[in-house]
Structure 1
Amino acid sequence: MKTPSWRKGLLGKGGFWQNGYWYDLHVERRIPLVMPMLEEILAALPPLGPGVSVCDLGCGTGNAGFAVMSAYPGIRLTLLDRDEDLLVLAQSKLAEISDGALAIRAEIRADGEAIPGGPFDVVVASLALQDIVGADIEGAEAESHYELLFQGIFDALNPGGHLIVADGAGTIGLYRQMKAMERAGFMDVDCAWRQNELFVCGGRTPE
Protein backbone atom coordinates (compact mmCIF):
# COMPACT_ATOMS: atom_id res chain seq x y z
CA MET A 1 0.00 0.00 0.00
CA LYS A 2 1.32 3.42 -0.94
CA THR A 3 2.08 5.77 1.96
CA PRO A 4 2.07 9.59 1.79
CA SER A 5 5.30 11.53 1.82
CA TRP A 6 6.79 11.86 5.29
CA ARG A 7 7.67 15.49 4.54
CA LYS A 8 4.03 16.49 4.97
CA GLY A 9 4.54 15.92 8.70
CA LEU A 10 7.52 18.27 8.78
CA LEU A 11 5.82 21.35 7.43
CA GLY A 12 4.87 23.75 10.21
CA LYS A 13 1.18 23.24 10.88
CA GLY A 14 1.04 20.38 8.40
CA GLY A 15 0.74 16.75 9.28
CA PHE A 16 -1.60 13.79 9.16
CA TRP A 17 -4.11 14.96 11.76
CA GLN A 18 -6.95 12.86 10.33
CA ASN A 19 -5.04 9.68 11.20
CA GLY A 20 -5.88 8.88 14.82
CA TYR A 21 -2.70 6.95 15.55
CA TRP A 22 -0.52 9.73 14.11
CA TYR A 23 -2.58 12.28 16.06
CA ASP A 24 -1.96 10.55 19.38
CA LEU A 25 1.76 10.27 18.66
CA HIS A 26 2.16 13.95 17.79
CA VAL A 27 -0.49 16.00 19.56
CA GLU A 28 1.38 16.51 22.83
CA ARG A 29 4.60 17.46 21.04
CA ARG A 30 2.87 19.77 18.57
CA ILE A 31 0.41 21.28 21.08
CA PRO A 32 2.21 21.06 24.46
CA LEU A 33 -0.74 22.52 26.38
CA VAL A 34 -3.11 19.71 25.38
CA MET A 35 -2.26 17.50 28.36
CA PRO A 36 -2.56 20.36 30.90
CA MET A 37 -5.88 21.20 29.24
CA LEU A 38 -7.14 17.64 29.82
CA GLU A 39 -6.17 17.97 33.48
CA GLU A 40 -8.12 21.23 33.65
CA ILE A 41 -11.20 19.50 32.21
CA LEU A 42 -11.08 17.06 35.13
CA ALA A 43 -10.56 19.89 37.60
CA ALA A 44 -13.56 21.76 36.18
CA LEU A 45 -15.99 18.83 36.36
CA PRO A 46 -18.34 18.41 39.31
CA PRO A 47 -18.05 15.01 41.07
CA LEU A 48 -19.48 12.28 38.81
CA GLY A 49 -21.14 9.43 40.65
CA PRO A 50 -21.90 5.93 39.38
CA GLY A 51 -24.30 5.91 36.46
CA VAL A 52 -23.81 9.54 35.49
CA SER A 53 -24.23 9.81 31.71
CA VAL A 54 -21.31 11.54 30.00
CA CYS A 55 -20.87 12.34 26.30
CA ASP A 56 -17.46 12.92 24.72
CA LEU A 57 -18.63 15.10 21.83
CA GLY A 58 -16.45 14.97 18.74
CA CYS A 59 -14.40 12.43 20.65
CA GLY A 60 -11.69 11.88 18.06
CA THR A 61 -9.27 9.33 19.52
CA GLY A 62 -11.07 9.42 22.87
CA ASN A 63 -8.50 11.24 24.98
CA ALA A 64 -11.03 13.33 26.89
CA GLY A 65 -13.35 10.38 27.47
CA PHE A 66 -10.41 8.28 28.65
CA ALA A 67 -9.37 10.97 31.13
CA VAL A 68 -12.90 11.34 32.53
CA MET A 69 -13.46 7.58 32.74
CA SER A 70 -10.11 7.13 34.49
CA ALA A 71 -11.09 9.71 37.11
CA TYR A 72 -14.71 8.50 37.48
CA PRO A 73 -14.86 4.81 36.48
CA GLY A 74 -18.54 4.42 37.37
CA ILE A 75 -19.86 6.74 34.65
CA ARG A 76 -21.74 5.69 31.51
CA LEU A 77 -19.74 7.10 28.61
CA THR A 78 -20.96 7.79 25.08
CA LEU A 79 -18.46 8.53 22.33
CA LEU A 80 -19.83 10.71 19.55
CA ASP A 81 -17.95 11.36 16.31
CA ARG A 82 -18.45 11.37 12.54
CA ASP A 83 -15.35 9.26 11.83
CA GLU A 84 -15.82 5.51 12.22
CA ASP A 85 -12.08 4.77 12.36
CA LEU A 86 -11.60 7.25 15.20
CA LEU A 87 -14.54 5.73 17.09
CA VAL A 88 -12.96 2.28 16.82
CA LEU A 89 -9.66 3.64 18.13
CA ALA A 90 -11.40 5.49 20.97
CA GLN A 91 -13.38 2.39 21.96
CA SER A 92 -10.25 0.25 22.05
CA LYS A 93 -8.57 2.83 24.27
CA LEU A 94 -11.53 2.89 26.68
CA ALA A 95 -11.63 -0.91 26.79
CA GLU A 96 -8.26 -0.81 28.58
CA ILE A 97 -9.85 0.71 31.70
CA SER A 98 -13.53 -0.26 31.54
CA ASP A 99 -16.13 -2.44 29.90
CA GLY A 100 -16.03 0.05 27.08
CA ALA A 101 -18.22 2.88 25.94
CA LEU A 102 -21.18 3.30 23.63
CA ALA A 103 -20.05 4.66 20.26
CA ILE A 104 -22.38 6.65 18.02
CA ARG A 105 -21.31 7.65 14.54
CA ALA A 106 -23.07 10.85 13.56
CA GLU A 107 -22.45 14.04 11.61
CA ILE A 108 -22.78 16.76 14.23
CA ARG A 109 -23.96 20.03 12.75
CA ALA A 110 -24.38 23.53 14.12
CA ASP A 111 -28.06 23.59 13.21
CA GLY A 112 -29.84 23.76 16.57
CA GLU A 113 -30.85 20.08 16.52
CA ALA A 114 -30.18 18.12 19.72
CA ILE A 115 -27.03 16.03 19.51
CA PRO A 116 -27.85 12.30 19.33
CA GLY A 117 -27.62 9.79 22.15
CA GLY A 118 -29.02 11.95 24.94
CA PRO A 119 -30.15 12.91 27.37
CA PHE A 120 -26.81 13.33 29.11
CA ASP A 121 -25.79 14.63 32.51
CA VAL A 122 -22.48 15.97 31.20
CA VAL A 123 -21.14 16.80 27.75
CA VAL A 124 -17.39 17.25 27.33
CA ALA A 125 -16.09 18.73 24.07
CA SER A 126 -12.31 18.77 23.72
CA LEU A 127 -10.82 20.35 20.58
CA ALA A 128 -14.11 19.59 18.84
CA LEU A 129 -16.31 22.67 18.50
CA GLN A 130 -14.00 24.60 16.16
CA ASP A 131 -14.02 21.62 13.84
CA ILE A 132 -17.81 21.28 13.95
CA VAL A 133 -18.46 24.99 13.37
CA GLY A 134 -15.76 25.24 10.71
CA ALA A 135 -12.84 27.58 10.24
CA ASP A 136 -14.10 29.05 6.96
CA ILE A 137 -16.67 31.37 8.57
CA GLU A 138 -16.21 34.32 10.90
CA GLY A 139 -17.93 37.24 12.56
CA ALA A 140 -21.68 37.17 13.06
CA GLU A 141 -22.07 34.01 10.98
CA ALA A 142 -19.61 32.10 13.16
CA GLU A 143 -21.27 33.44 16.30
CA SER A 144 -24.65 32.22 15.04
CA HIS A 145 -23.22 28.77 14.30
CA TYR A 146 -21.76 28.50 17.80
CA GLU A 147 -25.09 29.52 19.33
CA LEU A 148 -26.94 26.88 17.29
CA LEU A 149 -24.39 24.24 18.29
CA PHE A 150 -24.73 25.17 21.96
CA GLN A 151 -28.51 24.99 21.58
CA GLY A 152 -28.18 21.44 20.25
CA ILE A 153 -26.01 20.49 23.23
CA PHE A 154 -28.35 22.25 25.68
CA ASP A 155 -31.33 20.29 24.37
CA ALA A 156 -29.46 17.00 24.85
CA LEU A 157 -28.67 17.69 28.52
CA ASN A 158 -30.77 16.77 31.53
CA PRO A 159 -31.91 19.58 33.86
CA GLY A 160 -28.87 20.64 35.87
CA GLY A 161 -26.58 19.09 33.27
CA HIS A 162 -23.13 20.47 32.52
CA LEU A 163 -21.20 21.35 29.37
CA ILE A 164 -17.41 21.56 29.63
CA VAL A 165 -15.63 22.94 26.57
CA ALA A 166 -11.88 22.71 26.01
CA ASP A 167 -10.80 24.34 22.79
CA GLY A 168 -8.90 27.10 21.07
CA ALA A 169 -10.21 30.63 20.79
CA GLY A 170 -11.38 29.96 17.23
CA THR A 171 -12.86 32.51 14.89
CA ILE A 172 -14.91 34.45 17.47
CA GLY A 173 -12.83 34.19 20.65
CA LEU A 174 -13.59 32.88 24.12
CA TYR A 175 -15.77 35.77 25.35
CA ARG A 176 -18.14 35.61 22.40
CA GLN A 177 -18.36 31.84 22.66
CA MET A 178 -19.37 32.17 26.30
CA LYS A 179 -22.01 34.77 25.40
CA ALA A 180 -23.33 32.38 22.75
CA MET A 181 -23.61 29.71 25.45
CA GLU A 182 -25.68 32.07 27.57
CA ARG A 183 -27.99 32.92 24.67
CA ALA A 184 -28.49 29.19 24.10
CA GLY A 185 -29.82 28.94 27.66
CA PHE A 186 -26.80 27.96 29.73
CA MET A 187 -26.34 29.50 33.16
CA ASP A 188 -23.29 29.80 35.44
CA VAL A 189 -21.14 30.24 32.32
CA ASP A 190 -17.52 30.87 33.24
CA CYS A 191 -13.93 30.25 32.21
CA ALA A 192 -12.00 27.78 34.36
CA TRP A 193 -8.60 28.04 32.66
CA ARG A 194 -6.89 29.81 29.81
CA GLN A 195 -3.34 29.76 28.54
CA ASN A 196 -2.38 31.30 25.23
CA GLU A 197 -5.18 30.38 22.80
CA LEU A 198 -6.42 27.31 24.67
CA PHE A 199 -9.12 27.44 27.32
CA VAL A 200 -11.58 25.44 29.40
CA CYS A 201 -14.99 26.96 29.98
CA GLY A 202 -18.41 25.64 30.88
CA GLY A 203 -21.96 26.16 31.97
CA ARG A 204 -24.99 24.23 33.13
CA THR A 205 -28.65 23.93 32.32
CA PRO A 206 -31.28 25.13 34.81
CA GLU A 207 -32.59 22.57 37.31
Structure 2
Amino acid sequence: MNDRTTVQIHDHRTPEERDREFLPGMGKPWLLPFYDVFSRLSGARVLHDRAAALADIAPGETVLDVGCGTANLSLAVLRAQPAARVTGLDPDAAALRIAARKAARRRVPLTLAQGFADRLPTGDGSLDHIVSSLALHHVPDEGRILFGREAFRALRPGGRVTIVDFGSSGGAHGSDGHGHRGAARGHSAVAANPHTARNLEGGLVRLLTDAGFADAREVAHLEHRYGPITFVQATRP
Protein backbone atom coordinates (compact mmCIF):
# COMPACT_ATOMS: atom_id res chain seq x y z
CA MET A 1 0.00 0.00 0.00
CA ASN A 2 2.81 2.39 -1.01
CA ASP A 3 4.26 4.10 2.09
CA ARG A 4 1.17 3.57 4.21
CA THR A 5 0.86 1.12 7.05
CA THR A 6 -1.08 -1.98 6.01
CA VAL A 7 -4.03 -2.78 8.28
CA GLN A 8 -4.74 -6.50 8.51
CA ILE A 9 -8.25 -7.97 8.54
CA HIS A 10 -8.53 -11.17 10.55
CA ASP A 11 -11.31 -13.61 9.67
CA HIS A 12 -12.90 -14.71 12.94
CA ARG A 13 -15.79 -16.58 11.31
CA THR A 14 -16.31 -20.30 11.69
CA PRO A 15 -16.90 -22.37 8.51
CA GLU A 16 -20.60 -22.41 9.41
CA GLU A 17 -20.68 -18.60 9.59
CA ARG A 18 -19.16 -17.96 6.16
CA ASP A 19 -22.52 -18.06 4.41
CA ARG A 20 -24.41 -16.38 7.24
CA GLU A 21 -26.57 -13.46 6.19
CA PHE A 22 -26.42 -10.03 7.80
CA LEU A 23 -28.06 -6.65 7.31
CA PRO A 24 -25.55 -4.20 5.72
CA GLY A 25 -25.02 -0.73 7.15
CA MET A 26 -27.26 0.99 4.60
CA GLY A 27 -29.60 -1.94 4.07
CA LYS A 28 -28.29 -2.91 0.62
CA PRO A 29 -24.69 -3.95 -0.26
CA TRP A 30 -24.59 -1.72 -3.36
CA LEU A 31 -25.12 1.37 -1.16
CA LEU A 32 -21.90 0.82 0.82
CA PRO A 33 -19.77 3.23 -1.30
CA PHE A 34 -22.13 6.02 -0.24
CA TYR A 35 -22.07 5.14 3.46
CA ASP A 36 -19.35 7.54 4.58
CA VAL A 37 -20.77 10.37 2.47
CA PHE A 38 -24.18 9.82 4.06
CA SER A 39 -22.56 9.60 7.49
CA ARG A 40 -20.88 12.98 7.02
CA LEU A 41 -24.00 14.66 5.65
CA SER A 42 -26.14 13.31 8.46
CA GLY A 43 -23.80 14.61 11.15
CA ALA A 44 -22.93 11.15 12.50
CA ARG A 45 -19.43 12.25 13.53
CA VAL A 46 -20.99 14.16 16.42
CA LEU A 47 -22.49 10.89 17.66
CA HIS A 48 -19.20 9.02 17.34
CA ASP A 49 -17.22 11.72 19.13
CA ARG A 50 -19.83 11.90 21.90
CA ALA A 51 -19.74 8.14 22.38
CA ALA A 52 -15.93 8.17 22.49
CA ALA A 53 -15.97 10.94 25.09
CA LEU A 54 -18.55 9.11 27.22
CA ALA A 55 -16.48 5.91 27.07
CA ASP A 56 -13.56 7.86 28.64
CA ILE A 57 -10.93 5.34 27.59
CA ALA A 58 -7.50 5.48 29.23
CA PRO A 59 -4.11 4.95 27.54
CA GLY A 60 -3.34 1.31 26.86
CA GLU A 61 -6.87 0.06 27.47
CA THR A 62 -8.35 -2.55 25.14
CA VAL A 63 -11.46 -1.64 23.16
CA LEU A 64 -13.71 -3.69 20.88
CA ASP A 65 -15.96 -1.76 18.46
CA VAL A 66 -18.86 -4.09 17.67
CA GLY A 67 -20.42 -3.54 14.27
CA CYS A 68 -17.63 -1.15 13.33
CA GLY A 69 -18.59 -0.87 9.64
CA THR A 70 -16.15 1.53 8.00
CA ALA A 71 -14.56 2.28 11.41
CA ASN A 72 -16.00 5.72 12.12
CA LEU A 73 -16.44 5.03 15.84
CA SER A 74 -13.09 3.22 16.06
CA LEU A 75 -11.37 6.24 14.56
CA ALA A 76 -13.24 8.56 16.94
CA VAL A 77 -11.97 6.49 19.87
CA LEU A 78 -8.42 6.76 18.56
CA ARG A 79 -8.80 10.53 18.10
CA ALA A 80 -9.89 10.81 21.71
CA GLN A 81 -7.27 8.35 23.01
CA PRO A 82 -4.45 7.58 20.52
CA ALA A 83 -2.88 5.11 22.96
CA ALA A 84 -5.95 2.86 23.12
CA ARG A 85 -5.74 -0.63 21.64
CA VAL A 86 -8.77 -0.79 19.36
CA THR A 87 -10.24 -3.69 17.39
CA GLY A 88 -13.17 -3.23 15.03
CA LEU A 89 -15.52 -6.18 14.45
CA ASP A 90 -18.00 -6.46 11.57
CA PRO A 91 -19.41 -9.23 9.34
CA ASP A 92 -19.14 -7.08 6.19
CA ALA A 93 -15.82 -7.73 4.42
CA ALA A 94 -16.32 -4.82 2.03
CA ALA A 95 -16.91 -2.39 4.89
CA LEU A 96 -13.81 -3.70 6.66
CA ARG A 97 -11.70 -3.12 3.54
CA ILE A 98 -12.82 0.52 3.53
CA ALA A 99 -12.03 0.71 7.26
CA ALA A 100 -8.56 -0.69 6.64
CA ARG A 101 -7.84 1.91 3.95
CA LYS A 102 -9.04 4.74 6.22
CA ALA A 103 -6.93 3.55 9.14
CA ALA A 104 -3.89 3.12 6.89
CA ARG A 105 -4.24 6.65 5.52
CA ARG A 106 -4.40 8.00 9.06
CA ARG A 107 -1.56 5.73 10.23
CA VAL A 108 -3.48 4.63 13.32
CA PRO A 109 -3.02 1.26 15.07
CA LEU A 110 -6.41 -0.28 14.33
CA THR A 111 -7.01 -4.04 14.25
CA LEU A 112 -9.96 -5.38 12.24
CA ALA A 113 -11.83 -8.66 12.54
CA GLN A 114 -14.57 -10.17 10.41
CA GLY A 115 -17.22 -11.76 12.59
CA PHE A 116 -20.53 -11.35 14.34
CA ALA A 117 -21.78 -9.54 17.43
CA ASP A 118 -23.01 -12.76 19.03
CA ARG A 119 -19.52 -14.32 19.13
CA LEU A 120 -16.83 -11.86 20.10
CA PRO A 121 -13.21 -12.60 19.09
CA THR A 122 -11.66 -12.33 22.54
CA GLY A 123 -11.10 -14.27 25.74
CA ASP A 124 -13.02 -14.07 28.99
CA GLY A 125 -12.40 -10.84 30.91
CA SER A 126 -9.94 -9.58 28.31
CA LEU A 127 -11.47 -6.21 27.39
CA ASP A 128 -11.64 -2.87 29.16
CA HIS A 129 -14.32 -1.40 26.89
CA ILE A 130 -16.89 -2.46 24.33
CA VAL A 131 -18.35 0.28 22.14
CA SER A 132 -20.93 0.20 19.36
CA SER A 133 -22.49 2.85 17.14
CA LEU A 134 -25.70 2.54 15.10
CA ALA A 135 -25.14 -1.20 14.71
CA LEU A 136 -27.16 -3.22 17.20
CA HIS A 137 -30.47 -2.42 15.55
CA HIS A 138 -29.16 -4.50 12.62
CA VAL A 139 -28.75 -7.59 14.82
CA PRO A 140 -31.64 -10.10 15.08
CA ASP A 141 -33.33 -10.63 18.46
CA GLU A 142 -31.46 -13.82 19.38
CA GLY A 143 -28.17 -12.27 18.29
CA ARG A 144 -28.80 -9.21 20.49
CA ILE A 145 -29.35 -11.42 23.53
CA LEU A 146 -26.17 -13.35 22.75
CA PHE A 147 -24.29 -10.06 22.24
CA GLY A 148 -25.26 -8.98 25.76
CA ARG A 149 -23.99 -12.25 27.20
CA GLU A 150 -20.82 -12.12 25.11
CA ALA A 151 -20.11 -8.55 26.18
CA PHE A 152 -20.53 -9.55 29.81
CA ARG A 153 -18.16 -12.49 29.30
CA ALA A 154 -15.51 -10.55 27.43
CA LEU A 155 -15.27 -7.51 29.71
CA ARG A 156 -13.11 -7.54 32.82
CA PRO A 157 -14.81 -6.73 36.14
CA GLY A 158 -15.24 -2.97 36.11
CA GLY A 159 -15.15 -2.91 32.30
CA ARG A 160 -17.73 -0.80 30.53
CA VAL A 161 -19.94 -1.01 27.47
CA THR A 162 -21.00 2.18 25.66
CA ILE A 163 -23.65 2.02 22.94
CA VAL A 164 -25.09 4.76 20.73
CA ASP A 165 -28.07 3.83 18.58
CA PHE A 166 -31.57 4.82 17.64
CA GLY A 167 -33.74 4.45 20.72
CA SER A 168 -34.98 6.04 23.91
CA SER A 169 -35.21 5.53 27.64
CA GLY A 170 -38.98 5.91 27.61
CA GLY A 171 -38.87 9.27 29.38
CA ALA A 172 -39.73 12.71 27.99
CA HIS A 173 -36.93 14.52 26.18
CA GLY A 174 -36.71 17.95 24.68
CA SER A 175 -35.69 18.84 21.15
CA ASP A 176 -32.06 19.59 20.28
CA GLY A 177 -32.99 22.26 17.77
CA HIS A 178 -34.45 20.25 14.92
CA GLY A 179 -37.92 21.22 16.07
CA HIS A 180 -40.73 19.25 17.68
CA ARG A 181 -42.35 18.30 14.38
CA GLY A 182 -39.06 17.01 13.00
CA ALA A 183 -38.39 15.08 16.21
CA ALA A 184 -41.90 13.60 16.11
CA ARG A 185 -41.41 12.48 12.50
CA GLY A 186 -38.08 10.90 13.39
CA HIS A 187 -39.57 9.07 16.38
CA SER A 188 -42.42 7.78 14.22
CA ALA A 189 -39.97 6.49 11.62
CA VAL A 190 -37.93 4.67 14.28
CA ALA A 191 -41.09 3.19 15.82
CA ALA A 192 -42.30 2.01 12.41
CA ASN A 193 -39.04 0.20 11.62
CA PRO A 194 -38.98 -3.22 13.32
CA HIS A 195 -35.18 -3.12 13.54
CA THR A 196 -35.02 0.19 15.44
CA ALA A 197 -38.33 -0.09 17.34
CA ARG A 198 -36.75 -2.69 19.66
CA ASN A 199 -34.51 0.04 21.07
CA LEU A 200 -37.36 2.32 22.12
CA GLU A 201 -38.67 2.53 25.70
CA GLY A 202 -35.33 1.49 27.19
CA GLY A 203 -34.77 -1.55 24.99
CA LEU A 204 -30.98 -1.34 25.11
CA VAL A 205 -30.96 -0.79 28.87
CA ARG A 206 -33.08 -3.92 29.34
CA LEU A 207 -30.81 -5.86 26.99
CA LEU A 208 -27.73 -5.10 29.11
CA THR A 209 -29.51 -5.52 32.45
CA ASP A 210 -30.80 -8.94 31.42
CA ALA A 211 -27.24 -9.92 30.47
CA GLY A 212 -26.09 -9.24 34.05
CA PHE A 213 -24.62 -5.75 33.80
CA ALA A 214 -24.80 -3.38 36.76
CA ASP A 215 -26.08 0.17 36.49
CA ALA A 216 -27.26 -0.07 32.87
CA ARG A 217 -28.68 3.34 32.03
CA GLU A 218 -29.17 6.00 29.40
CA VAL A 219 -26.41 8.56 29.93
CA ALA A 220 -27.30 10.95 27.09
CA HIS A 221 -30.02 11.50 24.53
CA LEU A 222 -30.63 13.70 21.53
CA GLU A 223 -33.30 14.13 18.89
CA HIS A 224 -31.66 13.62 15.52
CA ARG A 225 -33.54 14.45 12.33
CA TYR A 226 -33.61 10.72 11.53
CA GLY A 227 -34.94 9.74 14.95
CA PRO A 228 -34.19 9.69 18.69
CA ILE A 229 -30.64 8.73 19.60
CA THR A 230 -29.80 7.10 22.92
CA PHE A 231 -26.40 6.70 24.56
CA VAL A 232 -26.40 3.74 26.95
CA GLN A 233 -23.69 2.57 29.32
CA ALA A 234 -23.30 -0.32 31.73
CA THR A 235 -20.54 -1.73 33.93
CA ARG A 236 -19.47 -5.33 34.34
CA PRO A 237 -19.63 -6.08 38.10
| Corresponding residue to 2:94 among 85, 104, 117 | 85
Separation (CA, whole Å) in 2 of partners of 1:18 and 1:56: 23
Task: Please tell me whether residue 127 in structure 1 is matched to residue 134 in structure 2.
Answer: yes
Separation (CA, whole Å) in 2 of partners of 1:88 and 1:132: 21
Deviation at 1:28, TM superposition (A): 3.2
Is contact 2:204-2:232 (8 Å) kept? no
Is contact 1:48-1:72 (8 Å) kept? yes
TM-score by length of 2: 0.67
- Is there any run of 5+ residues in structure 1 with no aligned partner, and where? 1-13, 134-141
Is contact 1:189-1:201 (8 Å) kept? yes
- Is there any run of 5+ residues in structure 2 with no aligned partner, and where? 1-25, 168-195
- Backbone CA RMSD of aligned residues: 2.2
Rate the CA distance shift 1:87–1:192 in 2: closer, same or farther, 3 A. same
Q: How does 1:1-207 map to 2 (within 5 A)?
A: 19-29=31-41, 31-32=42-43, 34-49=44-59, 51-109=60-118, 114-118=119-123, 119-133=126-140, 142=141, 146-169=144-167, 170-172=196-198, 173-196=200-223, 197-206=228-237
Matched AA of 2:205: M
Is contact 1:91-1:100 (8 Å) kept? no
Aligned structure 1 segments of 4 or more residues deviating by more than 6 angstroms: none
Separation (CA, whole Å) in 1 of partners of 2:233 and 2:113: 23
Look up the match of 2:18: none
Separation (CA, whole Å) in 2 of partners of 1:156 and 1:149: 10
Look up the match of 1:5: none
Matched AA of 1:171: A
Look up the match of 2:183: none
Deviation at 1:99, TM superposition (A): 4.3
Is contact 1:154-1:184 (8 Å) kept? yes
Number of aligned pairs? 177
